[in-house]
Amino acid sequence: MTGTCGFIHCFTSSTSDTSSRHGFRVTGDVCYEEAIKVVSAITPVPGGVGPVTISMLLSNTLDSAKRAFRFT
């Protein structure tokens, strides 16, 4: 990656964290602190593209229902 590169971070993992209230922590698959040094833009995890993903899933579901019921 170079400084002219952008990075959209979509995936998360959960790791054990005994200091956390729930016993785990949600993390990204890329080290944010290292990646931010070499990219021009990056989305955070959690909270980066999740709202966009949810809205697109709902939009696609609505489009599918319209097609299924021949509603324009």
Query: What's the mean pLDDT when you consider all of the chain?
Result: 80
The pLDDT, as a whole number, for residue 10 is 66
CA 14 remoteness from chain centre: 14
Task: Give rounded-to-5 percent helix, strand, coil for the chain.
Answer: 30, 20, 50
**Choice between 45 and 52, residue whose per-residue pLDDT is larger:** 52
Q: Give the CATH number of domain 6-68.
A: 3.40.50.720
The pLDDT, as a whole number, for residue 45 is 63
The pLDDT, as a whole number, for residue 66 is 95
By mean pLDDT, which of 4-8, 30-34, 49-53 is the weakest?
4-8
Model confidence, pTM: 0.44
The pLDDT, as a whole number, for residue 46 is 63
